[in-house]
C-alpha cells in the first residue's frame, strides 16, 4: 500500500545526543515536510523539501537538520543544539509543495523524549 512510514515510533534521547528520525514515502511525491506538534498545539513546520538535494527552513529549524538525497527519503536529525526536543514529530508529503489543490499526507508520527 502507498503511504508514509516513520520510524522509530518512540525514541529516547540523552542530553547532548543527536538522534535521527526516519521518513520514507512510496507515493512518488516531490514535496516532503517535517512538523513538530506539542501537546494541545497545532503543527509547526521545521523543514521542507520540494525536490531532491534541496530543502528549506521552516518556522522552527534551529537545532534540526535534514537531508534529501533520494526522492523517497527525508530524514530529520534532532541535534544537541535543540534545547527542548521532547515532542511528537510528523512527516508529510504532497505531490508539489503548496500547490493548488494538492492534498498533504501524513505519517503516523514519532514520539521523542529527552531522558
Partner 1 sequence: KQEVTQIPAALSVPEGENLVLNCSFTDSAIYNLQWFRQDPGKGLTSLLLIQSSQREQTSGRLNASLDKSSGRSTLYIAASQPGDSATYLCAALLIIQGAQKLVFGQGTRLTINP
The one among 60, 61, 104, 114 contacting partner 1 by CB under 8 A: 104
Instruction: Pick left, alpha or beta for residue 85 (phi over 0 → left; psi -120 to 50 → alpha; otherwise beta).
Output: alpha
The one among 25, 90, 93, 112 contacting partner 1 by CB under 8 A: 90
The single residue listed with the C-alpha cell 523524549 is 113
Name residues contacting partner 1, limited to 19-58 (CB under 8 A). 40-45
Instruction: Pick left, alpha or beta for residue 98 (phi over 0 → left; psi -120 to 50 → alpha; otherwise beta).
Output: left
Q: Is 95 a binder of partner 1 (CB under 8 A)?
A: no
List residues near partner 1 by CB under 8 A.
4, 6, 40-45, 88, 90, 92, 97-98, 100-101, 103-109, 111
Amino acid at each position: 500500500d502507498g503511504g508514509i512510514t516513520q520510524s522509530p515510533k518512540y525514541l529516547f534521547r540523552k542530553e547532548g545526543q543527536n538522534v535521527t528520525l526516519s521518513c520514507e514515502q512510496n507515493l512518488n511525491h516531490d514535496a516532503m515536510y517535517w512538523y513538530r506538534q506539542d501537546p494541545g498545539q497545532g503543527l509547526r513546520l521545521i523543514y521542507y523539501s520540494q525536490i531532491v538535494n534541496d530543502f528549506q527552513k521552516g518556522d522552527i529549524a534551529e537545532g534540526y537538520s535534514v537531508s534529501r538525497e533520494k526522492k523517497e527519503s527525508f530524514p530529520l536529525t534532532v541535534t544537541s543544539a535543540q534545547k527542548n526536543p521532547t515532542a511528537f514529530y510528523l512527516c508529510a508529503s504532497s505531490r508539489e509543495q503548496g500547490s493548488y489543490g494538492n492534498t498533504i499526507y501524513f505519517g503516523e508520527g514519532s514520539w521523542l523524549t529527552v531522558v
